[in-house]
Structure 1
Amino acid sequence: MLNNSHSLFHAVHQLSRQLTKQLNEALEPFGLYNAQWAVLYVLKANGALTQKELCEYLAVEAPPMTRTIQRLMKQGYIDQRTGLDKRKKFIHLTSKAESEFPKWEKAVLEANQVLITSLPKGSQDAIYSILSEWLIGIKQQVKTVEEEAIFND
């Protein structure tokens, strides 16, 4: 067991940076980066979302999300459409993004496969389980803190 949490968090941070670096290299031929891929992937998996929903899902602040959305719009991969409630704008994948998505996904899956080959299947399953449990716990803590802040106001 680690004698301090600094080592654990440093290792998680370093792993995250390495995974992001490898993903950026895999997406470079397509003119995309990890942050853009995350938005495209979430929209493909979940359908149209508002910018706020994307921010919440990806745990990204509004300013960097705005920049990412603007870049993707400039590339022709997403567009914004007004919803039934005229105050809401939904972000959609364009037909251009839909047609390019399989190429991007193939590159990402190939990069992921290279990165994970050194881990036995049992370790992959264990890491997934631990990370999922940790993430759920963090989200519950954040929700509790937000609810307490609202209650105390």
Structure 2
Amino acid sequence: MLNNTHTLFHGVHQLSRELSKQLNEVLEPFGLYNAQWAVLFVLKQQGTLTQKELCQYLAVEAPPMTRTIQRLLKQEYIEQHSGQDRRKKYIQLSKKALKEYPKWEEAVNKANQALLTSFPKDSQEELQSLITEWLGYIKQSEH
């Protein structure tokens, strides 16, 4: 057991901030930020979702998600459609986003690979396993 959990959580927070900063630098030429990329990535992987589903999946509060969605609408990267229940808005990638997505993904993948070059493969796999396990515990305790 760690004597000082602050050190662990501070390190995780610093890592998260550094990864976000690196991602923002890679996405800047495309006029995107990491929050927008997260939405675009999830929509590409999951398909059409509601704003509430996006908030839950990305663990983001509604107000910042609304701002991100508004930016993506303005850039014409997403489309919103009302369902049978007019209160629900369904969000999906636009044709423009689907056309641009491979360029964004290539840039992000190159940056990710560069970040991992000095990190041994077995450590990467172990870290992925630990993150998945920890996230599972956190999500399970929320219910």
How does the TM-score come out when normalised to structure 1? Answer: 0.91
Tell me the distance in 2 between the aligned counterparts of 1:66 and 1:88: 13
- Give the match for residue 11 of structure 2: 11
- Give the match for residue 117 of structure 1: 117
Residues 3-29 of structure 1, C-alpha deviations (whole Å, 9 max, x = no match): 210010010001001100000000000
Q: Percent identity?
A: 69
- Give the match for residue 68 of structure 1: 68
Tell me the distance in 1 between the aligned counterparts of 2:118 and 2:72: 34
Tell me the distance in 2 between the aligned counterparts of 1:119 and 1:3: 26
Tell me the distance in 1 between the aligned counterparts of 2:127 and 2:34: 21
- Give the match for residue 54 of structure 1: 54
Give the superposition deviation at 1:32.
0.2
Tell me the distance in 1 between the aligned counterparts of 2:142 and 2:112: 29
Give the superposition deviation at 1:84.
3.2
Secondary structure of the 2:84 match is coil
Secondary structure of the 1:85 match is coil
**Structure 2 spans left out of the alignment, 5+ residues:** none
RMSD (CA atoms)? 0.9
Could you list the runs of 4 or more consecutive aligned residues of structure 1 that deviate by over 6 angstroms after TM superposition? none
Tell me the distance in 1 between the aligned counterparts of 2:117 and 2:65: 32
Give the superposition deviation at 1:140.
0.6
How many aligned residue pairs are there? 143
Secondary structure of the 1:69 match is helix
**Structure 1 spans left out of the alignment, 5+ residues:** 144-153
